[in-house]
Structure 1
């Protein structure tokens, strides 16, 4: 039996990413927006994490779509986790994470570099060639910006939002401040399947 799981191999100190292609039911789920938003399944490379109820929690996104670069590699789609992120943000969660990041900027810088390398590795050889030839500014952006497109090389080291960090932590299984994130999310799924629409 062939495994559905695929892996993006590690590079340097970057950990691997495990994901699987979305099932037809998950594609329908994304198109219908039952997770709270409608997603274009063509932009989805795979699903690295589902909840115990079987619904996608995080998407692995293609770095390039018909509208241009898409810097968010891991996209949080779980309504339970999205609501918790919103609640934490309204209580100053972004500021608290940024305070932690400021205490150890090198750890976050390495994480941003890993995100840039991962995003670049998701481009096909044809996309890489086309971008370098026709849209060099897009190519540079995809290969040089960190988590969620944060321009960490030029001083923008902010957290942006907790949704990005939560998606990266759960989808990739790593984050320099994973213990802080775990403390904010003692539960990472709902008690009943919110996404079922029932």
Structure 2
């Protein structure tokens, strides 16, 4: 699968926030940047603050928002992919070491945005010892590029080209305003 290209660190403008609000059905919180875009042009992953504006600690720095992307990932989760990946972590020392390094990368990138004591040392998605959310792992890989999170990369490899049926922007246009 070819993953869409993006410009890391892209600032968030009101049109992006409006698109994400349509995607999520609610106002996005703590958005720092669009960290990945779908080929249709819509944001599909956001980078968020480790503490939301209401004070809530939020460990999920890379947040998948596109309904087609998240739906495709949910399908993988329902097929037992997380359990299989977790089992492989217990058997494959190299994979476990690379996944632990992905955990460290995730923490370092989140701490660039601020340190939050309540979530210190806790990344997301089950890292570093298990897999509990493929959405986080895929969002991490899309945002920082391949080669950092091995299980995020594997998740991307398992996904269909979610943007090919029709542009994700059509979903946003069909949503009630």
TM surpasses 0.5:
yes
Question: Which of 83, 86, 90 is 2:74 aligned to?
Answer: 86
Specify the alignment match of 2:117 in structure 1.
139
Q: Deviations over 1:138-163 (max 9, x none)?
A: 42623x11234x474xxxx2211111
Task: Tell me the matched-pair count.
Answer: 160
Specify the alignment match of 1:191 in structure 2.
165
Specify the alignment match of 1:132 in structure 2.
none
Superposition deviation, residue 188 in structure 1: 4.5
Greater Cα radius of gyration, structure 1 or 2:
1
Runs ≥4 residues deviating over 3 A = none
Could you say what secondary structure the match of 2:41 adopts?
A: coil
Superposition deviation, residue 37 in structure 1: 3.5
Could you say what secondary structure the match of 1:75 adopts?
A: strand
Unaligned runs of 5+ in 2: 1-6
Q: Given the two structures, how large is their TM-score scaled by the length of structure 1?
A: 0.71
Q: Given the two structures, how large is their TM-score scaled by the length of structure 2?
A: 0.79
CA contact (8 A) 2:72 2:160 kept: no
Alignment RMSD: 2.1
Q: Does 1:95 align with 2:73?
A: no
Distance 2:16 2:152 in 1: 27
Question: Which of 144, 165, 180 is 2:154 aligned to?
Answer: 180
Q: Deviations over 1:41-66 (max 9, x none)?
A: 4x000001111211111000111122
Question: Which of 41, 66, 88 is 1:54 aligned to?
Answer: 41
Specify the alignment match of 1:117 in structure 2.
108
Q: Deviations over 1:6-31 (max 9, x none)?
A: xxxxxxxxxxxx2211121111223x
Superposition deviation, residue 179 in structure 1: 4.8
Could you say what secondary structure the match of 1:119 adopts?
A: helix
Could you say what secondary structure the match of 2:63 adopts?
A: strand
Distance 1:59 1:114 in 2: 17
